[in-house]
Amino acid sequence: MSFDDLSSSFAELSFSVPSFSTAEPGDGQRWTTWPATTPTERGPRPHPDWLITSAGAIDTELGVVKTGKEADVHLIERAVPDEPAQRVLLAAKRYRDAANSDFHRSARYQEGRRMRNTRDSRAVARSTAYGRQVSAGRWAYAEFETLSRLFTLGLPVPYPVQVHGTELLMELIGDGVEAAPRLAQARLTVAELASCFDQVADAMRALARAGLAHGDLSAYNLLVHHGRVVVIDLPQVVEVVSNPGGLDFLQRDCTNVCDWFTRRGLERDAGELFGELVAELY
Protein backbone atom coordinates (compact mmCIF):
# COMPACT_ATOMS: atom_id res chain seq x y z
CA MET A 1 0.00 0.00 0.00
CA SER A 2 1.35 3.41 -0.97
CA PHE A 3 1.74 6.32 1.46
CA ASP A 4 -1.15 8.16 -0.24
CA ASP A 5 -3.44 5.11 0.14
CA LEU A 6 -2.53 4.82 3.83
CA SER A 7 -3.22 8.50 4.43
CA SER A 8 -6.60 8.16 2.71
CA SER A 9 -7.54 5.17 4.89
CA PHE A 10 -6.74 7.09 8.09
CA ALA A 11 -8.80 10.05 6.88
CA GLU A 12 -11.86 7.81 6.56
CA LEU A 13 -11.60 6.56 10.14
CA SER A 14 -13.93 8.14 12.73
CA PHE A 15 -12.49 8.79 16.17
CA SER A 16 -14.64 9.11 19.26
CA VAL A 17 -13.30 11.87 21.49
CA PRO A 18 -14.47 11.58 25.12
CA SER A 19 -16.40 14.57 26.41
CA PHE A 20 -15.90 15.89 29.92
CA SER A 21 -18.34 17.99 31.90
CA THR A 22 -17.14 21.49 32.68
CA ALA A 23 -19.71 21.92 35.47
CA GLU A 24 -18.46 23.25 38.79
CA PRO A 25 -20.33 23.27 42.12
CA GLY A 26 -22.18 26.52 42.75
CA ASP A 27 -23.81 28.01 45.83
CA GLY A 28 -25.29 25.30 48.05
CA GLN A 29 -23.37 22.60 46.16
CA ARG A 30 -20.27 20.47 46.66
CA TRP A 31 -18.48 17.67 44.90
CA THR A 32 -19.75 14.28 46.02
CA THR A 33 -18.10 13.09 49.23
CA TRP A 34 -18.26 9.44 48.10
CA PRO A 35 -14.58 9.26 46.97
CA ALA A 36 -13.47 10.62 50.36
CA THR A 37 -14.97 7.64 52.19
CA THR A 38 -13.35 4.27 52.79
CA PRO A 39 -15.04 0.94 52.01
CA THR A 40 -15.97 0.56 55.70
CA GLU A 41 -17.72 3.94 55.58
CA ARG A 42 -19.97 2.87 52.70
CA GLY A 43 -23.24 0.98 52.82
CA PRO A 44 -23.60 -2.81 52.62
CA ARG A 45 -23.00 -4.61 49.34
CA PRO A 46 -24.50 -5.24 46.95
CA HIS A 47 -25.11 -1.52 46.54
CA PRO A 48 -28.65 -0.71 45.33
CA ASP A 49 -29.08 0.19 41.66
CA TRP A 50 -30.06 3.77 42.48
CA LEU A 51 -26.81 4.52 44.32
CA ILE A 52 -24.54 7.04 42.53
CA THR A 53 -20.83 6.44 43.07
CA SER A 54 -19.40 8.62 40.27
CA ALA A 55 -16.62 10.95 41.40
CA GLY A 56 -18.07 13.53 38.99
CA ALA A 57 -21.36 13.82 40.88
CA ILE A 58 -22.40 17.03 42.61
CA ASP A 59 -24.38 17.24 45.86
CA THR A 60 -26.98 20.01 45.98
CA GLU A 61 -28.64 21.24 49.18
CA LEU A 62 -32.43 21.34 48.77
CA GLY A 63 -33.52 22.21 52.30
CA VAL A 64 -34.09 20.88 55.81
CA VAL A 65 -36.31 17.83 56.27
CA LYS A 66 -36.42 18.00 60.07
CA THR A 67 -34.55 19.29 63.07
CA GLY A 68 -33.84 17.20 66.15
CA LYS A 69 -32.26 17.35 69.56
CA GLU A 70 -28.88 16.04 68.39
CA ALA A 71 -28.95 16.39 64.61
CA ASP A 72 -30.69 17.99 61.65
CA VAL A 73 -31.75 16.10 58.53
CA HIS A 74 -31.20 17.82 55.18
CA LEU A 75 -32.44 16.93 51.70
CA ILE A 76 -29.61 16.38 49.21
CA GLU A 77 -29.69 15.76 45.48
CA ARG A 78 -26.69 13.78 44.24
CA ALA A 79 -26.45 14.01 40.47
CA VAL A 80 -23.97 13.70 37.61
CA PRO A 81 -24.11 16.83 35.41
CA ASP A 82 -25.51 16.26 31.92
CA GLU A 83 -26.65 12.74 32.83
CA PRO A 84 -30.37 12.91 33.74
CA ALA A 85 -30.50 9.21 34.69
CA GLN A 86 -27.75 9.73 37.28
CA ARG A 87 -29.77 11.52 39.94
CA VAL A 88 -30.95 10.50 43.41
CA LEU A 89 -32.39 12.24 46.46
CA LEU A 90 -30.78 11.44 49.82
CA ALA A 91 -31.29 12.33 53.46
CA ALA A 92 -28.20 13.86 55.09
CA LYS A 93 -28.25 13.60 58.87
CA ARG A 94 -25.72 16.01 60.38
CA TYR A 95 -24.84 15.65 64.02
CA ARG A 96 -24.11 18.71 66.12
CA ASP A 97 -21.34 18.71 68.69
CA ALA A 98 -22.17 18.61 72.39
CA ALA A 99 -21.99 22.40 72.70
CA ASN A 100 -24.83 22.80 70.19
CA SER A 101 -26.87 19.70 71.01
CA ASP A 102 -29.82 19.20 73.31
CA PHE A 103 -29.16 15.47 73.61
CA HIS A 104 -28.01 15.14 77.22
CA ARG A 105 -28.88 11.49 77.92
CA SER A 106 -26.11 9.95 75.84
CA ALA A 107 -24.10 8.47 78.72
CA ARG A 108 -26.81 5.93 79.60
CA TYR A 109 -27.04 4.72 76.01
CA GLN A 110 -23.29 4.29 75.73
CA GLU A 111 -22.83 2.11 78.81
CA GLY A 112 -21.25 -1.15 77.72
CA ARG A 113 -19.62 0.45 74.66
CA ARG A 114 -15.88 1.06 74.42
CA MET A 115 -13.81 3.51 72.43
CA ARG A 116 -10.77 1.98 70.74
CA ASN A 117 -8.80 5.22 70.55
CA THR A 118 -7.64 6.25 74.03
CA ARG A 119 -6.76 9.77 72.89
CA ASP A 120 -10.31 10.26 71.63
CA SER A 121 -11.68 8.76 74.84
CA ARG A 122 -9.72 11.23 76.98
CA ALA A 123 -10.78 14.17 74.80
CA VAL A 124 -14.45 13.18 75.07
CA ALA A 125 -14.16 12.78 78.85
CA ARG A 126 -12.58 16.24 79.16
CA SER A 127 -15.15 17.78 76.77
CA THR A 128 -12.50 19.60 74.76
CA ALA A 129 -13.41 21.15 71.40
CA TYR A 130 -11.83 18.14 69.71
CA GLY A 131 -13.65 15.81 72.08
CA ARG A 132 -17.02 17.37 71.27
CA GLN A 133 -16.34 16.86 67.56
CA VAL A 134 -15.30 13.26 68.22
CA SER A 135 -18.50 12.70 70.18
CA ALA A 136 -20.66 14.01 67.32
CA GLY A 137 -18.78 11.75 64.91
CA ARG A 138 -19.29 8.78 67.23
CA TRP A 139 -23.05 9.18 66.99
CA ALA A 140 -22.90 9.40 63.20
CA TYR A 141 -20.73 6.28 62.95
CA ALA A 142 -22.82 4.45 65.56
CA GLU A 143 -25.99 5.06 63.56
CA PHE A 144 -24.29 4.12 60.29
CA GLU A 145 -23.01 0.85 61.73
CA THR A 146 -26.40 0.04 63.24
CA LEU A 147 -28.25 0.81 60.00
CA SER A 148 -25.77 -1.33 58.04
CA ARG A 149 -26.23 -4.23 60.44
CA LEU A 150 -30.01 -4.00 60.53
CA PHE A 151 -30.36 -3.50 56.77
CA THR A 152 -28.28 -6.63 56.22
CA LEU A 153 -30.54 -8.52 58.64
CA GLY A 154 -33.58 -7.44 56.62
CA LEU A 155 -35.11 -4.97 59.07
CA PRO A 156 -37.19 -2.07 57.69
CA VAL A 157 -34.62 0.74 57.93
CA PRO A 158 -33.29 3.24 55.36
CA TYR A 159 -30.31 2.07 53.33
CA PRO A 160 -27.16 3.74 54.76
CA VAL A 161 -25.25 5.23 51.83
CA GLN A 162 -22.14 6.48 53.63
CA VAL A 163 -20.80 8.20 56.72
CA HIS A 164 -18.28 11.02 56.52
CA GLY A 165 -17.22 12.92 59.62
CA THR A 166 -20.38 13.98 61.42
CA GLU A 167 -22.64 13.44 58.40
CA LEU A 168 -24.63 10.28 57.67
CA LEU A 169 -26.11 9.97 54.18
CA MET A 170 -28.97 7.54 53.73
CA GLU A 171 -31.90 6.60 51.55
CA LEU A 172 -34.72 9.13 51.57
CA ILE A 173 -37.98 7.42 52.50
CA GLY A 174 -40.72 9.26 50.67
CA ASP A 175 -42.02 10.33 47.27
CA GLY A 176 -40.05 12.85 45.25
CA VAL A 177 -38.80 15.59 47.55
CA GLU A 178 -41.46 14.78 50.16
CA ALA A 179 -40.33 12.67 53.11
CA ALA A 180 -42.77 10.04 54.34
CA PRO A 181 -44.83 11.10 57.38
CA ARG A 182 -44.02 9.91 60.86
CA LEU A 183 -46.47 7.46 62.38
CA ALA A 184 -47.59 10.21 64.78
CA GLN A 185 -48.62 12.36 61.80
CA ALA A 186 -50.18 9.68 59.60
CA ARG A 187 -53.95 9.49 59.21
CA LEU A 188 -54.78 5.81 59.46
CA THR A 189 -57.88 3.65 59.56
CA VAL A 190 -58.31 1.04 62.29
CA ALA A 191 -57.17 -1.66 59.88
CA GLU A 192 -54.11 0.40 58.92
CA LEU A 193 -53.33 1.00 62.59
CA ALA A 194 -53.44 -2.74 63.25
CA SER A 195 -51.11 -3.41 60.31
CA CYS A 196 -48.68 -0.74 61.51
CA PHE A 197 -48.60 -2.17 65.03
CA ASP A 198 -47.90 -5.66 63.71
CA GLN A 199 -45.02 -4.29 61.63
CA VAL A 200 -43.58 -2.36 64.58
CA ALA A 201 -43.83 -5.40 66.83
CA ASP A 202 -42.13 -7.56 64.19
CA ALA A 203 -39.29 -5.04 63.92
CA MET A 204 -38.91 -5.02 67.70
CA ARG A 205 -38.78 -8.82 67.76
CA ALA A 206 -36.09 -8.79 65.06
CA LEU A 207 -34.09 -6.28 67.09
CA ALA A 208 -34.46 -8.44 70.20
CA ARG A 209 -33.25 -11.52 68.32
CA ALA A 210 -30.14 -9.49 67.49
CA GLY A 211 -29.79 -8.63 71.19
CA LEU A 212 -30.86 -5.02 70.69
CA ALA A 213 -33.43 -2.49 71.80
CA HIS A 214 -34.10 0.74 69.92
CA GLY A 215 -33.80 2.69 73.15
CA ASP A 216 -35.93 5.67 72.11
CA LEU A 217 -38.77 4.15 70.12
CA SER A 218 -41.95 6.14 69.63
CA ALA A 219 -44.45 7.17 66.97
CA TYR A 220 -42.08 10.03 66.12
CA ASN A 221 -39.24 7.85 64.82
CA LEU A 222 -41.35 5.47 62.78
CA LEU A 223 -42.20 6.43 59.19
CA VAL A 224 -45.20 5.17 57.23
CA HIS A 225 -44.63 4.94 53.48
CA HIS A 226 -47.38 3.38 51.36
CA GLY A 227 -48.45 1.21 54.29
CA ARG A 228 -44.90 0.14 55.16
CA VAL A 229 -43.40 1.09 58.52
CA VAL A 230 -39.73 2.14 58.49
CA VAL A 231 -37.68 2.53 61.68
CA ILE A 232 -35.42 5.61 61.90
CA ASP A 233 -33.25 7.46 64.44
CA LEU A 234 -31.02 4.62 65.55
CA PRO A 235 -27.78 6.06 66.98
CA GLN A 236 -28.64 5.11 70.55
CA VAL A 237 -29.54 1.46 69.88
CA VAL A 238 -28.74 -0.49 73.04
CA GLU A 239 -27.08 -3.87 73.50
CA VAL A 240 -29.61 -5.15 76.01
CA VAL A 241 -27.36 -7.61 77.81
CA SER A 242 -24.19 -5.50 78.06
CA ASN A 243 -25.96 -2.26 79.00
CA PRO A 244 -26.99 -2.19 82.70
CA GLY A 245 -30.19 -0.39 81.75
CA GLY A 246 -30.88 -2.53 78.69
CA LEU A 247 -34.09 -4.12 79.92
CA ASP A 248 -35.36 -0.73 81.11
CA PHE A 249 -34.84 0.69 77.62
CA LEU A 250 -36.62 -2.30 76.11
CA GLN A 251 -39.56 -1.94 78.47
CA ARG A 252 -39.81 1.78 77.78
CA ASP A 253 -39.93 1.10 74.03
CA CYS A 254 -42.80 -1.32 74.61
CA THR A 255 -44.67 1.16 76.80
CA ASN A 256 -44.21 4.05 74.36
CA VAL A 257 -45.43 2.03 71.40
CA CYS A 258 -48.37 0.27 73.06
CA ASP A 259 -49.60 3.37 74.85
CA TRP A 260 -49.62 5.33 71.59
CA PHE A 261 -51.66 2.69 69.75
CA THR A 262 -54.01 2.31 72.73
CA ARG A 263 -54.68 6.07 72.73
CA ARG A 264 -55.60 5.75 69.05
CA GLY A 265 -58.24 3.13 69.86
CA LEU A 266 -56.17 0.00 69.20
CA GLU A 267 -55.58 -1.47 72.65
CA ARG A 268 -52.26 -3.22 73.03
CA ASP A 269 -50.57 -4.57 76.16
CA ALA A 270 -47.02 -3.34 76.82
CA GLY A 271 -46.34 -6.08 79.38
CA GLU A 272 -47.31 -8.80 76.94
CA LEU A 273 -45.09 -7.35 74.20
CA PHE A 274 -42.20 -6.94 76.65
CA GLY A 275 -42.50 -10.62 77.66
CA GLU A 276 -42.38 -11.69 74.00
CA LEU A 277 -39.25 -9.61 73.38
CA VAL A 278 -37.46 -10.91 76.47
CA ALA A 279 -38.15 -14.45 75.23
CA GLU A 280 -36.53 -13.50 71.90
CA LEU A 281 -33.47 -12.18 73.74
CA TYR A 282 -32.82 -15.40 75.60
Would you please indicate which residues are annotated as catalytic (active-site) residues? Answer: 216, 233
d(CA 27, CA 30): 8
**Count of all residues that appear for the chain in the document:** 282
Instruction: State CA 169 to chain mean position distance.
Output: 6
Q: At what angle do helices 270-281 and 190-209 cross, to 10 degrees?
A: 30
Q: Among the residues of the chain, which ranges form H helices?
A: 3-12, 106-110, 118-126, 129-153, 190-209, 246-263, 270-281
Amino acid (one-letter) located at 104 = H
Phi, psi of 9 (to 5 degrees): -65, -40
Yes or no: say if 267 and 179 are a contact pair by the CB < 8 Å rule: no
Yes or no: say if 70 and 139 are a contact pair by the CB < 8 Å rule: yes
